[in-house]
Amino acid sequence: MSSSDTLARLEATIAQRLNADPDSSYVARLNAKGVGKIAQKLGEEATETVIAALTESRQALVGEAADLIFHLMVLLAAKDVPLAEVMAELDRREGTSGIAEKAARPKD
């Protein structure tokens, strides 16, 4: 089973649960609280991932990274952004120096 299969299954599960009963689904509960709460939770998971990388075990890092990816996918679903669109952007960037790619981004 490939990682892309896992992500596709997770994306489908999140889509099914997004508007489910918040009493029976964590995804629905998060979604009911709005994008701001989902984004906040993603930020918390990102911080926990950094802390695990710096001070905890490999297994702790793996667990926090899984939480981070999960919450990112919930946010993407809430904003109606398919994972395929993110993957296409990664494909577009492949083979480009990270420094060059960042320099080519529009300045706000």
**Cα–Cα distance between 27 and 92 in angstroms, integer?**
30
Amino acid 100: pLDDT? 73
Amino acid 8: pLDDT? 94
Q: What is the CATH number of the domain that holds 10?
A: 1.10.287.1080
Helix (H, G, I), strand (E, B) or coil at 107: coil
**Cα–Cα distance between 89 and 107 in angstroms, integer?**
18
The total domain count for the chain is 1
Write down the H helix ranges in the chain: 3-17, 26-33, 35-55, 58-78, 83-93, 98-104
Residue numbers of the domain that contains 22: 3-104
What sign has the CA pseudo-torsion 88, 5, 19, 35? negative
pTM of the model: 0.86
Query: Each residue's pLDDT tens digit in the chain (108 positions)?
Result: 678 799 999 999 999 999 999 999 999 999 999 999 999 999 999 999 999 999 999 999 999 999 999 999 999 999 999 999 999 999 999 887 767 767 777 777
